[in-house]
Amino acid sequence: MATIEDTIAAIATPPGRGGIAIIRVSGSKALDVAKTLTGITPKPRQVYFKQFKLNNEVLDEGVVIYFASPNSYTGEDIVEFQGHGGYISPKRVLNGILSIEGVRQAQPGEFTRRAFLNNKMDLAAAEAVEDLISAGSESAAKAALSSLEGNFSKNVNELTDKITNFRVRIEACLDFPEEHEDFYESGKTDKELDDIEALASKTIRIANQGVKLNEGAKIVLAGSPNAGKSSLLNALAGADKAIVTNIPGTTRDVLTAQVEIEGVPVTITDTAGIRDKPSDEIEAIGIQKAIDELKKADLVLFMIDGSKPPVDVMETYTKVKEFESNTNRIMVIVSKADKDLCSDVKELLCSEPFKELKQVRTSTKTESGLDELKKVLVEALGIMPIEGVFIARRRHIAALEKAYEYIVKAKEIVATGDLVLCAQEIRQAQDYLGEITGTVTSDDILGKIFSTFCIGK
């Protein structure tokens, strides 16, 4: 059974052709592995060029570096063998290392998990390692690096400290009421809780932006066939991703384009035009896929051709509304703004439900309205300036929101004078914040988090 006392090894670089591959070994036997493969006992943080040999067979040659505990990534003894890249040489070295008694293959994320368990970083920073590796944009990489440097944890710890101090005051008041008669005086308690609530709200707001950077946002183009969805996708993507014709129902499958809007990676999905009577089975499949995408959308751009009388627009909108009931996440895009606006469309836009929705006129032919559309998308997606943003995950948001709920409950309860119940609510908030940094966690949560990492990290 695998334990943290085991010495572990893995290839830390991506597979395939490359100049260098790194094989990382961590644990109490790391130095023995170095001596077995190189014939020397390396000194910490010195570079040695050696052949990597096992049973008199040369596996590769390259650089070996020893990082002594606790001054290493994992906090344990680490040895790195830096040899030739490619598919074969790194595996030969790794297999040689794994043949040594007491050394096993590292599990996904196990090096970083050990770094967390050895207090080299907290859980939020550990997750940021994986987020930095998988960042889909420069802004996401910067935000992940910010979390790795501890900025997310600083926000959480500041909030935790304020909550802890307030809890200490409550419990002191419960234990020694005669010495804390001023607990309710001068509105100090209310202000303290107001400050805690405001800080929690601010942290949630910034963390939500971090989630957008981490996961990206999803925009779905929907509407009747031939409303201009494919043309808008191509215009926003800056490339011909979709076939554009005058034939309704041309898009039979889901097409996607990856763009950046104010640093946030955004997936724009062009779907089949939705109508009740598809022309054939293939179009019907495309419509079902469109419905599936609508269910996952952060924002729906409902397209209307502004140049000709609307056909089945209300029916199509009603169908879209079945799967996206939040009208705050639906925006109307009136296409073909280079042509006169059809009077019937104008009347439609001034009627329910469209008059209540944000409307933007665009022309992919002249590019008019596209800049305005991008500004509106920034607002609709809640995209904030990138400065000060740290990377975050949905589990962080869930924990922060639960903590916020308990803070609000504590505010309501403290007014009743029930300090025992108030202290319990504050403790719950404190525990949820602890789940983010790892001061309160379980092996199941750790296993789930680190299982998404690559093996060499």
Residue 120 marked ligand-binding: yes
Distance CA 437, CA 15 (A): 32
Residue 230 marked ligand-binding: yes
Residue 50 marked ligand-binding: no
Residue 273 marked ligand-binding: yes
Residue 409 marked ligand-binding: no
Q: Is 328 exposed, middle or buried (0-12, 13-18, 19+ CB in 10 A)?
A: exposed
Distance CA 113, CA 441 (A): 13
Tokens of 84: 């030739």
Residue 13 marked ligand-binding: no
Tokens of 202: 């601010």
- Contact present, 433 and 86 (Cβ < 8 Å): no
Residue 309 marked ligand-binding: no
Residue 3 marked ligand-binding: no
Residue 226 marked ligand-binding: yes
Distance CA 146, CA 152 (A): 7
Contacts of 83 (CB under 8 A, 6+ apart): 20, 21, 23, 52, 60, 61, 62, 63, 89, 90, 93
Distance CA 248, CA 259 (A): 26
Residue 272 marked ligand-binding: yes
Element (H, E) at 82: strand 78-84
Distance CA 327, CA 308 (A): 25
Contacts of 20 (CB under 8 A, 6+ apart): 13, 62, 82, 83, 84, 85
Residue 80 marked ligand-binding: yes
DSSP H helices in 73-187? 89-98, 110-117, 123-133, 138-148, 151-175
**Which residues are paired to 333 by β-bridges?**
303, 360
Residue 90 marked ligand-binding: no
Residue 362 marked ligand-binding: no
Residue 247 marked ligand-binding: yes
Residue 214 marked ligand-binding: no
Distance CA 244, CA 225 (A): 11
DSSP helix/strand/coil, 67: strand
**Which residues are paired to 264 by β-bridges?**
261
How many residues in the chain? 457
Query: Where are the extended beta strands (E) located within 187-345?
Result: 217-223, 255-261, 264-270, 299-305, 330-335
Residue 86 marked ligand-binding: no
Tokens of 356: 């209540």
Tokens of 420: 């025992």
Q: Is 153 exposed, middle or buried (0-12, 13-18, 19+ CB in 10 A)?
A: buried
Distance CA 368, CA 327 (A): 25
Distance CA 161, CA 430 (A): 9
Distance CA 61, CA 23 (A): 12
Residue 270 marked ligand-binding: yes
Residue 153 marked ligand-binding: no
Distance CA 29, CA 98 (A): 12
Annotated binding-site ranges: 24, 80, 120, 226-231, 245-251, 270-273, 457
Annotated binding-site ranges for K(+): 226, 245, 247, 250
Annotated binding-site ranges for GTP: 226-231, 245-251, 270-273
Annotated binding-site ranges for (6S)-5-formyl-5,6,7,8-tetrahydrofolate: 24, 80, 120, 457
Annotated binding-site ranges for Mg(2+): 230, 251
